[in-house]
Structure 1
Amino acid sequence: MKRLCSLIVLSLFIAGCASPKPPADLVGRALDAMGGTEALAKLKSLSLKGTVRQADPEQAFEPDGESWHTSSEFELTADLPAQVFRIDWVKSYTLPFPVKRAFSEIVTPQAGYVLGVDTMLRNKQSLANNPPAHAMSGLRVATNQRELLRASPSLLLEMQRHPRDVRARSDVAVAGVLHPALDYAVGQVTYTVVFDPQTALPIRIRTMDHDNIWGDVTYDLVLSDWRMVDGVRIPARRVYELRGKPVQEVQLTQLAINVPIDAAQFEPPAAIKAGAAVPATGHNHHQWVIRRQFIGTYVDSDDPGFDNRAMSSLRLDEVAPGVQFVVGGSHNSLIVEMSDHLIVFDAPVSDGQSRWTLAAAKAKYPGKPVRTLVLTHHHMDHAGGLRTYVAQGATLVVGKGSARHFREVLSASFTHNPDLAATDLSRAAIMEVSDKQTFSDGRRVVSVHLVENPHAAGMLIGYVADQRLGWVTDLWLPGAPLPQKITPLLSSVVNGVKKAGIAPVRFAGGHGSIAPYAPLEALATAN
């Protein structure tokens, strides 16, 4: 009896250590569960209608908070053998301004196109065309192609057709339970496909992405609510998770396959077809491309920070002695010269933009390192390039309640960063400003001040005292026409200036340009 028990235990141990099922078995079982290889191979066209909610946690009021920005309706039409897609959108944005936009996207294997206005930051080609239209940047084409394949009912069929690109891998934990998974390499993209061990269906499709705040992140498409449509099982519920948190919720309301489609709808206007960018390679800016579209502020360009159709580079504008304004893109920063070092306000967009700013600062002020980086707030578009400065020794200055967040951010790995080599930044110096912080070299005084506002917790404004120059981000766009009535955002600037006891004559902005402060102050007084 003792020997029998030992044999049972040994057999259970061997079974537990058995190698996972071969990739072909997992793929084959999944295809059977989805309706069978033959049925999927007969898929010629796809017609879907649905709704989408989108959120970006790095645009929330609190760091890494919840913030749903966009609700949309869409209609997708696909010619699957030709791999061409058209998506007609009606998007309702809540931030940064409430607005509804209707536009269409066309994606082909060679290029992509936008018909209509899809952003408040239109590029040069969009502005030049009437009706508005433009060819997508190579970054956007590559990102759209990646996401369309991720969600395609043909993904498993492609895995079966290209077995050399499919690799066995360790199981993936979902809600504490291990699930079988495979890696599938398509060019420079690797999808991790996770399967339900009971149904055999694919339930999660993952990529490892670079997030400009959190570094290495998982980006998952979670599939559920599978419905049989003419012999093919298709998921009607699709939730996209970033670092395990939902950022997109898609619900299909109509599903049809192999319906007649008009090929003319995939043809872009000739004016934008010529010279269209090919899909970009060798980048990992996917999260920037995806999530800037959530709030309708994406600049469709092959440089994430500026419209490369309109200019070739950012530039420095000297706005006062020893003060340089970094402009030319969608997001600005400010360089302030001190006796033996520099202070920089904001690190927008990416480490690529920060590298440009550092190089420009070094050329302008040789021998003076950036010793201090002031982040006005935590939002990804104004803080996404912080690692470049911290990696070369700058102290990070942030508003009240933000230090813990940025300590976690700087402790995260960033091996997928396309602009900066990975290094350990976990011991970086971080200074948290609870009310006011002053920096002085005995000649110039620069101060930062906490401002109560409705946009972001821990918001700071800056002030260069000898030039009576303020720095503000997102609360006011200096240079833009002032409204007839004061807004809560603008009021927070005026109230912050009064509370700080500073006397600015001008303000430079993280967006916009430079403007006199007096008209804003007068508007607040009049209201």
Structure 2
Amino acid sequence: MSPSASPVQATAGLLNTDWNPRDVPAGDHKEPGPMRRLLTILLPFFVAACATAPEPRDLVSRAIDAMGGEAALATVRTVAVNGTVRQYDPEQTYAPGDAPRLTNDSQFTQLTDLVAQASRIQWVKNFHYPYVVTRTFTEIVTPEAGYVAGIDSLERNRQSLQATSPAHAMSGLRLAMTQRELLRVSPWLLLQMRSHPERLSRRADVVIGSLAYPAVHYSSGELAYTVMFDATTGLPARIRTADYDNIWGDVDMDVVLSDWQLQGGVRLPMRQRHEMQGRLIQETVITQWALDTPPAAGTFEPPAAVKSGAPAPATGKLHTQWPIRRQFIGTYLDSDNISFDSRAGTDAGLRFTELAPGVQHQVGGSHNSLIVEMRDHLIVVDAPVTDGQSKWTIAAAHAKYPGKPIRYLVLTHRHMDHAGGLRAFIAEGAQLVVGQGTGEHFRKVLAAPTMRSPDLAVHDFSGTRITEVADRLAFNDGQREVTMHRIDNPHAADMLLVYVAHARLGFVADLWAPGLPLPPRMNPGLQALVNGVRQAGIAPLRFAGGHGSVAPYQLLEDLMARGAN
């Protein structure tokens, strides 16, 4: 629509309904056809819609008024809240389609200085998966940097490990996502939107279920939100960001706001439901809140030992879901290279370790792969973390074994941390091998759009060949044999155990992390692995892991024997 065009002119031009019998030459007069008559009838409705559709700033102003008014909101300096959080992961389930797995239930206390844009959040996180453990720690977030005091993850980076009192500076990636999520649910967001109408644009109403939400898009530098408003109350109902997930590609992340309560002339939501592509990932309940609680001296001051050199917020195309949801399970490696600890000095970086002739173990990060050389091709086991890590593995494999293409990518199971880099291998021409029952899951994954990928150009994966392993599958080129065995286990229904016969080497993910200390007795994962080895009829001397390194298989047999006695 041109600046000078009225809604009537613009709509008439779009529909071409300016038919006039005077324009028809004499003798050629015809009545308009059914479609034109229909459009002529509908024209007043289109005109009315254009004429009455609220402007973006009007929607924002109405929301601010419903929250207490600009005067009330603008005078609030701090917001203090206590609450509970339950976090879930839809990609850590036992089988595709299962309800998202509850990973932790937690309590938090948060004080936010709206003017300084600084927050201090004290957490007590009770993890249920993959380990049962409670972590108590504090996050401090400022516009320039972020910090963690205490131990918040199983995967501690070098700075945390070396600190006298455990603490570390947040990676720029974690900081950017934490800042984004704090602003998303802050009353300051609406005030920013009202102050910068040039950053607003009207979006078509978003229909979810039976409800249509008037929507406004707000973009400010690296931050972008689509705010959907309740048509009845005017309050923000959903706030959406455009995210990237290593499994599902381009996804929408919504925070659904409800149970608005009034205090001190300001109305805030007491319930926040986080959804990724419509699937639940977090529920937050505010149990207590107060306005203008004065912060104590040093509230937003980070630990001195980690203040220097703290990264600034990351920018550009980011893996947005990874830093959010890996924190849900307490295994997030807080690093700007999400494959390995980029602050580990000379030890930082992925590398190959040769385990036998023609067998390389990609290590050096939080997750590993296995590469097996065959006569005229390569087999890769697992594509962990991201396509960025897979691109490193592909380049290193081609350098080590020039002229040999990667023909097969074998996934031990479908969880996001072991399958998140599958697209890079398939783009190279690899066929996909997965456990029974996940073929259709991966067809849907590969059909998902990936315009927001930080690692890969857009690629058509529709022709990918996928093989499901029901029991056993063997690749034998006359010189070497690699077999895949589906095994019963408590972790994932599609779990595959991989065996490289000439090296008498097994590869396992998550059931055992070879090289790390064993528990005092067998657990269900280790028991499933031993049972799987026996049922498969293989004779491994060693196991390499999707986590950890390499260890003798006999350690498990000995542990089982001690338990039996």
Residue 442 of structure 1 is matched in structure 2 by 478
Cα-to-partner distance string for 1:303-343 (whole Å, 9 max, x where unaligned): 01110011442111111111111000000000000111100
Q: Could you tell me how far 1:179 is from its partner in structure 2?
A: 1.3
Residue 71 of structure 2 is matched in structure 1 by 38
1:122 and 1:300 in contact (8 A); partners too: yes
Q: Could you tell me how far 1:524 is from its partner in structure 2?
A: 2.1
Counterpart CA distance in 2 for 1:40 and 1:174 is 29
Residue 348 of structure 1 is matched in structure 2 by 384
Q: Could you tell me how far 1:64 is from its partner in structure 2?
A: 4.4
Q: Could you tell me how far 1:286 is from its partner in structure 2?
A: 1.6
Cα-to-partner distance string for 1:43-74 (whole Å, 9 max, x where unaligned): 10010000000000101111242211100000
Within 5 A, what are the aligned runs for 1:184-333? Answer: 184-310=218-344, 311-333=347-369
Counterpart CA distance in 1 for 2:158 and 2:43 is 70
Aligned partner of residue 119 in structure 2, secondary structure: strand
Residue 14 of structure 1 is matched in structure 2 by 47
Q: TM-score, normalised by structure 2?
A: 0.91
Q: Could you tell me how far 1:263 is from its partner in structure 2?
A: 3.8
1:126 and 1:134 in contact (8 A); partners too: yes
Percentage of matched positions with identical amino acids: 58
Residue 374 of structure 2 is matched in structure 1 by 338
The AA in structure 2 aligned to 1:272 is: V
The AA in structure 1 aligned to 2:133 is: V
Within 5 A, what are the aligned runs for 1:374-389? Answer: 374-389=410-425
2:352 and 2:360 in contact (8 A); partners too: yes
Within 5 A, what are the aligned runs for 1:24-63? Answer: 24-63=57-96
Q: Could you tell me how far 1:482 is from its partner in structure 2?
A: 2.0
The AA in structure 2 aligned to 1:175 is: G
Cα-to-partner distance string for 1:402-425 (whole Å, 9 max, x where unaligned): 111111101111111101111111
The AA in structure 1 aligned to 2:490 is: P
Matched, 1:177 2:177: no
The AA in structure 2 aligned to 1:30 is: A
The AA in structure 2 aligned to 1:520 is: L
Matched, 1:490 2:523: no
1:209 and 1:216 in contact (8 A); partners too: yes
The AA in structure 2 aligned to 1:44 is: R
Q: Could you tell me how far 1:19 is from its partner in structure 2?
A: 6.1
Counterpart CA distance in 2 for 1:321 and 1:241 is 47
1:58 and 1:65 in contact (8 A); partners too: no
1:44 and 1:80 in contact (8 A); partners too: yes
RMSD: 1.4
Aligned partner of residue 187 in structure 2, secondary structure: coil
The AA in structure 1 aligned to 2:54 is: K
Between structure 1 and structure 2, the one with the greater Rg is 2
The AA in structure 2 aligned to 1:328 is: G
Counterpart CA distance in 1 for 2:396 and 2:550 is 20
Residue 536 of structure 2 is matched in structure 1 by 500
Aligned partner of residue 265 in structure 1, secondary structure: coil
Aligned partner of residue 453 in structure 1, secondary structure: coil
Residue 134 of structure 2 is matched in structure 1 by 100
Cα-to-partner distance string for 1:114-157 (whole Å, 9 max, x where unaligned): 00000011000001112100000010111111111111111110
Aligned partner of residue 273 in structure 2, secondary structure: strand
Q: Could you tell me how far 1:11 is from its partner in structure 2?
A: 3.9
Aligned partner of residue 59 in structure 1, secondary structure: coil
Q: TM-score, normalised by structure 1?
A: 0.97
Structure 1 residues 42 and 511, CA gap change in structure 2 (3 angstroms): same
Q: 513-522 or 169-178: which moved more?
A: 169-178
Cα-to-partner distance string for 1:459-484 (whole Å, 9 max, x where unaligned): 00100001100000000111122222
Cα-to-partner distance string for 1:178-209 (whole Å, 9 max, x where unaligned): 21101001212320000011100000000111
Cα-to-partner distance string for 1:219-259 (whole Å, 9 max, x where unaligned): 00000000001101100000000110111000000011112
Residue 432 of structure 2, aligned match among 386, 396, 403: 396
Residue 474 of structure 1 is matched in structure 2 by 510
Q: How many residues align?
A: 522
Counterpart CA distance in 2 for 1:39 and 1:48 is 18
Aligned partner of residue 380 in structure 2, secondary structure: strand
The AA in structure 1 aligned to 2:73 is: L
Residue 147 of structure 1, aligned match among 176, 181, 187: 181
1:216 and 1:413 in contact (8 A); partners too: yes
Counterpart CA distance in 1 for 2:467 and 2:51 is 52
Residue 3 of structure 1 is matched in structure 2 by none
Counterpart CA distance in 2 for 1:39 and 1:7 is 48
Counterpart CA distance in 1 for 2:215 and 2:307 is 40
2:385 and 2:416 in contact (8 A); partners too: yes
Q: 279-288 or 502-511: which moved more?
A: 279-288
1:58 and 1:64 in contact (8 A); partners too: no
The AA in structure 2 aligned to 1:60 is: T
The AA in structure 1 aligned to 2:135 is: R
